[in-house]
Amino acid sequence: MKFQLEKVIGHRGACGHAPENTLVSMSKAHELGIKWVEFDVKLAKCGELVIFHDSLLERTTNGMGSIANHDFLAIADLDCGSWFSQQYVGEKIPTFKQLLSHVASLNLGINVEIKPCEGKDLETALQTLDHLMSHWPVASQPPLISSFSKIALQAAANWHFPLGYLINCWDSSAWEEVLDHCNCIALHVDQKILTPQRVAQVKKKGLLLLAYTVNDTARATELFSWGVDAVFSDFPDRILLEA
């Protein structure tokens, strides 16, 4: 199927409405009429790929310490919903495999952000790509793979998935080099550092430009008017009305 990006991408599912990076957050995005979701992939100690944003367990679970030091069995039973609301008590950290099966069943387009634990860039990227080859339905549109990690993107460069480079500070020669070197088709930029001139510079190179994280409808309208192709939002339903 052809790669067709949507203008509004649910951030970590729809993480303003449901606990981030969970199956229920993906379902929520789907319920809200969102067609694409983003989520973060990292490796737990035993080599299991899981959907999780932080290096530490504390903020979003009832566990403690670094996720890199825990086997999946040790985190599988953690509660990652009750920090968000009592409605989500008992929500679990999904494995990548579980998540892929869930979003494929909802027919969602996906942006897989490779977010390695420290020093695990190559391993995380290779396992993520291998999982996608084995578990993502061929009939679905290809996943957009992104990362702040140059090592991860380099590892992905020859796998024929569309790639995006994530940045949070502006250095044109640095991002141009990574994009060229890794055959990226997209630049994913912190919306706070975007200006009309910067958007024009990216678009002139024929790249897709995605902006994170946009929860304000007026800001989304402004970014779209500058030529931004898509925005990530915790409240994608708000932005959908403007897109």
Rounded least distance, CB 84 to ligand G3P, Å: 16
Please choose, from the candidates 35, 39, 45, 7, the residue with its C-alpha nearest in 3D space to the C-alpha of residue 23.
39
Judged by beta carbon, residue 54 or residue 139, the one nearer ligand G3P is 54
Q: Quick one: which H or E segment has residue 217?
A: helix 217-226
Judged by beta carbon, residue 118 or residue 138, the one nearer ligand G3P is 118
Alpha carbons within 13 A on the beta-carbon side of 135: 18
Among 166, 209, 214, 223, the residue binding ligand G3P under the rule CB under 6 A is 166
Q: Does 188 bind ligand G3P (CB under 6 A)?
A: yes
Rounded least distance, CB 64 to ligand G3P, Å: 21
37 pairs with which residues across the strands?
10, 110
51 pairs with which residues across the strands?
41
Q: Does 235 bind ligand G3P (CB under 6 A)?
A: no
> Would you please indicate which residues are annotated as catalytic (active-site) residues?
11, 53
Among 91, 113, 121, 237, the residue binding ligand G3P under the rule CB under 6 A is 113
Q: Does 232 bind ligand G3P (CB under 6 A)?
A: yes
212 binds, options Mg ion, ligand G3P, none, Cβ within 5 to 8 A by partner type: ligand G3P
Max CA pair span of the chain: 49
Q: Where are the alpha helices (DSSP H) in 91-216?
A: 96-105, 121-135, 150-156, 172-182, 196-204
70 binds, options Mg ion, ligand G3P, none, Cβ within 5 to 8 A by partner type: none
Q: Which residue has the tokens 């490796």?
A: 43
Q: How far apart are CA 186 and CA 209, in angstroms?
A: 6
Please choose, from the candidates 5, 1, 34, 39, the residue with its C-alpha nearest in 3D space to the C-alpha of residue 207.
5
Judged by beta carbon, residue 74 or residue 150, the one nearer ligand G3P is 150
Judged by beta carbon, residue 59 or residue 71, the one nearer ligand G3P is 59
Q: Does 146 bind ligand G3P (CB under 6 A)?
A: yes
Among 14, 17, 34, 40, the residue binding Mg ion under the rule CB under 5 A is 40
For the chain, strand residue ranges (E) read 8-10, 36-43, 49-51, 109-114, 144-147, 163-167, 186-190, 208-212, 230-233
Supply 49's token pair. Answer: 């790929």
Which residues between 15 and 34 bind ligand G3P (CB under 6 A)? none
Judged by beta carbon, residue 14 or residue 139, the one nearer Mg ion is 14
Q: Under the rule (CB under 5 A), what is the footprint of Mg ion?
A: 40, 113
